[in-house]
Amino acid sequence: MSSVSRRAALGSVVASAAALSLNSASASQTPAAAPAKRRTRIGVSTYSFWQFRNKDLRSIETCIDLASEWGFDGVEILEMQMTDTSNSALQKLKQRAFVNGLDLCGFSTHQGWVSPDKQKRKENTEKTIRSIEMAYKLGIPTMRVNTGRWGTSRNFDELMANRGIEPTLEGYTDEEGYKWVIDGLEECLPTAEKCGVTLGLENHWGLGRTAEGVMRIVNAIKSPWLKTTLDTGNFLEDPYDRLEVIADDAVLVQAKTYYGGGMWYTLDLDYPRIAKLLQKHNYNGYVSLEFEGKESPRTAIPKSLQMLQDAFA
């Protein structure tokens, strides 16, 4: 190659490099597009199907199949609804959810430490530990827990008629109750940590009826393995202000709907407002539907899903 040709070729290379450099600089000065916000994942509690009364919808397998068919992302299992808790049965449920493209996103359990009976509290602790181990076998990362209540109401209907408020057991105080709950939960936390299952204390009834009661327990224990399960339908007055109090620690949100009218009460919840509230508190976890109305779950659950998808879009 002649010297003239080499100079021409070199000049071409230099010009190309300069052009690439300019293009690169220009690209670096162009603002990157903001990443798209991840879609909120919507699950459904098996309680929404069964509601303690629909015998044909008690089967967890049926709930999983319908949840997949209707377009949910996950299923929250109500432990009380299970009829077989053997390891073989648990593994089959985990497999069924997986092949249906669903997460098992929560495990909802019942326990109560609000009792002066030390043996009863011990039994509830042991039951909760077994439930944590069950959640682990199912591959479920969070488990709803309750404080329990005094039990001075004749039944749940009476409790609901009194807006969830009931008197303490004669001779005892809420102060004692809080200590029993804190002690019981603390005994469960080593198992929760070992299994990688975060406990979520729900704003349920009993000492968890108020946001302040829930956070009093969570803040007293101060463990990364005890957070909150936020239920949109369990604050009967001023729900949005009270939900905000427990939102920072939420690991699961249970979203109530009441198509056909509520079984005990009906709340007119503003879900777009709730979605903004959760976004404000950087909540990115599952929203799990708890349908608690009188309409057939087969029609109300799909309607609830569409409503939640629109609200959290």
The domain locations on the chain are 74-311
| Cβ atoms 202, 231 nearer than 8 A | yes
Distance from chain centroid for Cα 21 = 50
Q: Degrees (nearest 5) of the Cα angle 271, 276, 280?
A: 145
How far apart are alpha carbons 213 and 178 in whole angstroms?
8
Count of residues in the chain? 313
The owner of tokens 């109401």 is 153
Per the CB < 8 A criterion, the answer to whether 51 and 297 are in contact is: yes
Enumerate residues 6+ apart whose C-beta is below 8 A from 243. Answer: 211, 230, 232, 235, 274, 277
Question: 108 in helix, strand or coil?
Answer: strand
The dihedral sign for the CA sequence 241, 246, 252, 256: negative
Dist CA 126 CA 123 (whole Å): 5
Structure tokens at 300: 């109300």
pLDDT reading at 114 higher than 50:
yes
pLDDT value, residue 5: 42
Q: What pLDDT score does 33 carry? A: 66
Task: Give the pLDDT confidence score for residue 38 in this predicted structure.
Answer: 83
Average pLDDT of the chain? 91
pTM: 0.88
Rounded mean pLDDT, 44-54: 97
- Residue with the bigger pLDDT between 259 and 29: it is 259
- Say if residue 213's pLDDT is above 90: yes
pLDDT grade, residue 17 (50/70/90)? Answer: very low
Other residues' Cβ atoms within 10 Å of the Cβ of residue 106: 27
How far, in Å, CA of 276 to CA of 257, rounded? 18
pLDDT digits (tens, 9 = 90+) for 118-173: 999 999 999 999 999 999 999 999 999 999 999 999 898 999 888 889 999 999 99
Cβ partners under 8 Å of residue 28, min gap 6: none
Query: What pLDDT, on a 0 to 100 scale, did the predictor assign at position 268?
Result: 96
* Contacts (Cβ under 8 Å, ≥6 apart) of 87: 137
For domain 74-311, give the CATH superfamily: Divalent-metal-dependent TIM barrel enzymes (3.20.20.150)
Residue with tokens 């996950």: 74
% of the chain at pLDDT higher than 70 = 88
Q: Which amino acid is at 300?
A: A
Q: What is the pLDDT of residue 12?
A: 46
More confident residue, 21 or 308: 308
Answer whether residue 78 shows pLDDT above 90: yes
Q: Is the pLDDT of residue 262 over 80?
A: yes
State residue 23's pLDDT score: 46
Does 20 have pLDDT greater than 60? Answer: no
Q: What was the pLDDT predicted at 35?
A: 67
pLDDT at position 9:
42
